[in-house]
Amino acid sequence: MTSDQQMHDQQSIEAQRSASSEAIFMANHHAHEADYIVKRWKAIAERLNATWTTLVPATLDAPEIGVFSLKGNPSRPSIYFSAGVHGDEPAGVLGLLDWADSQLNSWTLGDVVIFPLLNPWGLKNNRRVDEQGQDLNRMFDSTMHPLITAWKKFLDKRQFAVSVCLHEDYDARGCYCYEIYRSGKARFGRDGLDAACDVIPVEDSKEIEGREANRGLMDIDELPDLDEPGAPEAFPLYVNHAEVSLTFETPSEYSLYSRVRAHEKFLCHVVARLRGR
């Protein structure tokens, strides 16, 4: 057998393995099972001796909204991750769950704060908005909304080396990332996109959501202007809590399996960079 033939056979074995992993995943996924997802997070918290704090109690139609927090080494960088603020964007929710389930054992970095499912009603009903029909990701300047008030209270005085909010976009054709950074501080967007594009290519449009993009990255060292009222989660994170505020997006028309893997890869990259600090 020639070495070309061996390589070809190896590639086709890899392709078959990956196809069967995808088939198993797609036959068993829990993309819109909000109760199952919250239960999994509580089990992870218990297993790791971490804390689960309820921010908004369960309703008849949706489970509670909670935050997972793990105490880390105070002299190492701390992280903030979140997902599921838009309920019709499940890949970030599943990617974050898989990441935590496999990566938080023997944790050596700083504190971990994770809001794993900010809009459980939306996830359950496959809706962008919450139960009141509001886009939560334009409510982070609210002083009245019970979830946002609890979110602010929980985060009071907490500082993170990085925050990552996970999203999806139905009309994107590749992954992309908003990065609100501070000059002289670590950056993650470009290399994070390179890591995710192992699974899904980066969006190559020169303009994304009305903003100039460079191979999927939209980076700026101050709060960008928004065309509509309200503040997304990434804004108060940048102003009050994080050295750099990232929003990572996958294209919703790709396979759910690939989208989940892309979110997981992006998070793995961010943490690998922090480990090297």
Whether residue 160 contacts residue 80, with contact meaning beta carbons closer than 8 Å, is answered with yes
Which part of the chain contacts Zn ion (CB under 5 A), choosing from 17-25, 81-89, 94-102, 220-228? Answer: 81-89
Say how far apart CA 199 and CA 239 lie, in whole Å. Answer: 32
In the bound state with Zn ion, the residue whose beta carbon lies nearer, of 111 and 203, is 203
Whether residue 211 contacts residue 240, with contact meaning beta carbons closer than 8 Å, is answered with no
The count of residues interacting with Zn ion (CB under 5 A) is: 3
Closest distance between Zn ion and the C-beta of residue 221, in Å? 23
Say how far apart CA 213 and CA 172 lie, in whole Å. Answer: 13
Which part of the chain contacts Zn ion (CB under 5 A), choosing from 28-36, 78-86, 109-117, 237-245? Answer: 78-86
In the bound state with Zn ion, the residue whose beta carbon lies nearer, of 110 and 120, is 120
Coil, strand or helix at 149: helix
In the bound state with Zn ion, the residue whose beta carbon lies nearer, of 85 and 155, is 85
In the bound state with Zn ion, the residue whose beta carbon lies nearer, of 85 and 195, is 85
In the bound state with Zn ion, the residue whose beta carbon lies nearer, of 178 and 238, is 178
Closest distance between Zn ion and the C-beta of residue 208, in Å? 13
According to the binding rule CB under 5 A, does residue 263 interact with Zn ion? no
| Binding residue (CB under 5 A) for Zn ion from 86, 124, 241, 269 | 86
Encoding tokens for residue 189?
């967007």
Which part of the chain contacts Zn ion (CB under 5 A), choosing from 61-69, 89-97, 231-239, 251-259? Answer: 89-97
According to the binding rule CB under 5 A, does residue 167 interact with Zn ion? yes
Closest distance between Zn ion and the C-beta of residue 251, in Å? 12
Report which of 58, 59, 80 is spatially closest to residue 69, judged by C-alpha positions.
Answer: 80
Say how far apart CA 263 and CA 260 lie, in whole Å. Answer: 5
Say how far apart CA 214 and CA 196 lie, in whole Å. Answer: 16
Closest distance between Zn ion and the C-beta of residue 225, in Å? 19
Q: Which residue has the tokens 């909670």?
A: 66
Q: How far is CA 19 from the centre of its chain?
A: 24
In the bound state with Zn ion, the residue whose beta carbon lies nearer, of 41 and 176, is 176
Query: How many Cβ atoms sit within 10 Å of the Cβ of residue 98?
Result: 16
According to the binding rule CB under 5 A, does residue 261 interact with Zn ion? no
Say how far apart CA 168 and CA 151 lie, in whole Å. Answer: 22
Contacting residues toward Zn ion, per CB under 5 A: 86, 89, 167
